[in-house]
Structure 1
């Protein structure tokens, strides 16, 4: 049952007394603000009566359904933002979600599915950028803030196919592109170079990387100075040395 926005109480008093606000006056329901009535008798004396609303809605709990507080963008569609909780009102009119960025800017979220008592599931904004956020969930009289979670660019597996590769020190290595759309949408504008990490945990900078959308391949040169016999992970970096994405791979070296 939906909570009404107002009530209209009928109050009986003695014939020559008056009451303010008058009987039959509509009162807005405000959970934290009681209403005071003043009854004035015929002799001019008065007495105040306070109306306090009591709600049966139990305390709402809410937390993000994310592993280690990390959310990864993806193509062609981002995963929903899912808030798990307790005592959420299963009514879109009484339950709302807002995405709040680090500066406090709030964006109203639309439901991807009707809310239940335990889950509020929202569509991810199309313009969502990497950064730190939390969700403000309003359900009935309660407002809950989730813990902060961080949004990242897609994992490197969205760009490069995860499979066994074989290369040669000092030679070219060809990797297969998993999704050229992911690369072009999220990385093309900022990508500058790779950092390769061998099985001895040494790092090597790899420049002059060629992304070939026509053949769906990535060609990069393996430094002749690599000391290990395999590359275990790759990092995509921008020109300022900031990490864009990373992933573990099995690249054997001859």
Structure 2
């Protein structure tokens, strides 16, 4: 029995040894499946393709028939390709080749064959066939020159252009084109290469040498010369009413086509004396013109009487009449004369503004017209009228404060009104000044857009800008006016307002030495009364109202100034 098992173990060992030898004899199959080279033989030789990963591209000459090409293809060892190499293929569209490795794995390659695009971009002929004989252009170094009969309309020539095959040209051939100046043509090859040609069309040389226009465009109205071609003269007349500097004028000159003029057009010249202009034709023949500028004689002026004789400094004065020119205005005082700066001058009106610093009092108003003196009589000059330069609003102590900026105000003499629909509402001045006034906006005014009027003595001005007033929403007491701004002790101060419904209503009087709060006598829900106490010191005080509504203390949003006097 033991002998049997030993024999069985020997047989199994030999079996395992034999199997191990068979495994070591197995060889791995290749996975390579590449196209390593792709070429096509053409009239230009053997052309190799560009292989980019799994895309293959090749460009061939124009004479190649894409529908019948036989490529030469090299692939990885032990691999196979389909379609087969060295077989005729139609490459009018991309062709897919499949390479199969020895291990059976596959890889597709897409092959694209393109016809080579032309680089040719030349103009071989440039013709004008509308002429008899045909006009042919001279082509040299990318310039083309043509000569056409004199008088030809260069703006309506039709070129016939021959260019390289498969190229394009811009502007187009066989269309009406303006050749009054050189025209640049761009020829674009099939491969987008570009070449520019400059085409110039010339006339036969002209003998024309005339001045066709002679004018001065720098002036209004334009001065146009009268040209006499028989006597070769040019005459320009300057209107008497226009101020032209004939010592320094620049004529605009138009001459015959292809001719030149000397001095040239636009060049400054002194026309106090006659000037000569030489016109040279294209064929170098010349003609000389003599240009003369003269000034029209002015008619006698007339002046209208002034509509008033009292003016304010800063006011504009207009003098009316006829035949005005070269005017100068002056004010003549016993102590001397002052020349005014003219704002605007026409043949019938001269306007000037009295400076704000003008000397006040009586002065003779005179005007010189073309150096001749004319008197308009005596006028009286008063202080300047107020001017509003700006309006702004701000909020202080629950009040809307309107600040009026301007000039020619007079502290202590200013009065301010809010104006709506021609109705004036006097405003309370909180802070007065010579160039700024602050007023408190009355919140009980009817809602709307209000202009602001400032009166200074007997002068007044109304703003163009408006202040918008909206309906009040507060339940606080409001002060709109007081019966007096200056009071003595023992006098009654009547305060007008709104929302005066609390209990009690008290007045707060605030001065530099402190403040006091006292009950007032309620006359109605829009008016209260308070007697100035005998122990109140002289001075300026601010007043406000306060009251309780349901145990809630309410303060007026308007503070008024009053002064207590001895």
Comparing both structures, which one devotes a greater share of its residues to strand? 2
TM-score normalised according to structure 1 size: 0.42
TM-score normalised according to structure 2 size: 0.22
RCO higher in 1 or 2 (8 Å CA, sep ≥ 6)? Answer: 1
Answer with 1 or 2: which has the greater Rg: 2
